[in-house]
Amino acid sequence: MTETAGKILLVDDDPVFTGVMARGFRRRGFTTRSCATAEAALAACREFRPSHILLDLNMPGTSGLVILPRLLAASPGAALVVLTGYSSIVTAVEATRAGATNYLCKPATIDEILSAFAGDAGAAPAAVPSDPISVERLEWEHIQRVLQDCAGNVSATARALGMHRRTLQRKLQKRPVRR
């Protein structure tokens, strides 16, 4: 029997993103489960009993901020990190007050997320940018991370992103957008 680093519940409505995150956490010894809605996350907390919860704020239906205290009540002792592409100082403060261990802005690496779960005092706190990253830049960075997770295989990356291979090749030929 192999020892795991813990159980992590990934709550995000983007299946490609949760797939990439799940693979990354499994490589680091975690048992993973993914949910796309707040209601499914509550049910998973009761059944799966995660030690870690990675929560997105912007989901269809109930907001991640609303469900956060209920997730922590359903999984006492679980560390919860909010990871969102729609960051603001107000939601960061609210999430922390509601019991979140940390608050990160997308995109974030698995190592940054693990550091946030640990509440690494030595690490610099995640800064909330005053000028958010453009959608084009966010897409480019996401493509690069998935490409890296797929060991540079363009066909596998296109499948993981649900994109035609030629479309992906065209996007990869372009220079990265500034911000």
Give the pLDDT confidence of 13-59 residue by residue, as tens digits: 888 889 999 999 999 999 999 999 988 999 999 899 999 999 998 88
**Residue 168 CB partners (closer than 8 Å, separation 6+):** 143, 154, 157, 158, 161
What is the band of 100 on the pLDDT scale with cuts at 50, 70, 90?
A: very high
Please tell me the number of Cα atoms within 13 Å of 146 on its side-chain side. Answer: 24
Is the Cβ–Cβ distance between 55 and 86 less than 8 Å?
no
Helix H or strand E segment including 60: none
- pTM equals 0.65
User: Any idea where the domains of the chain sit in the sequence?
Assistant: 6-118, 135-173
pLDDT digits (tens, 9 = 90+) for 123-168: 445 555 566 667 777 787 788 878 888 888 999 999 988 999 999 9
Q: Was domain 6-118 assigned CATH 3.40.50.2300?
A: yes
- Rounded Cα gap, residues 99 and 43, in angstroms: 19
6-118 shares its CATH topology with 135-173? no
Class of 135-173 per CATH? mainly alpha
pLDDT tens digit sequence for 59-89: 878 888 889 999 999 998 899 999 988 777 8
Phi–psi pair at 32, nearest 5 degrees:
-120, 155
Burial of 55: CB neighbours in 10 Å, binned 0-12, 13-18, 19+ = buried
Please tell me whether the peptide bond between 132 and the residue prior to it is cis, using omega within 30 degrees of 0: no
The DSSP output letter for 61 is: S
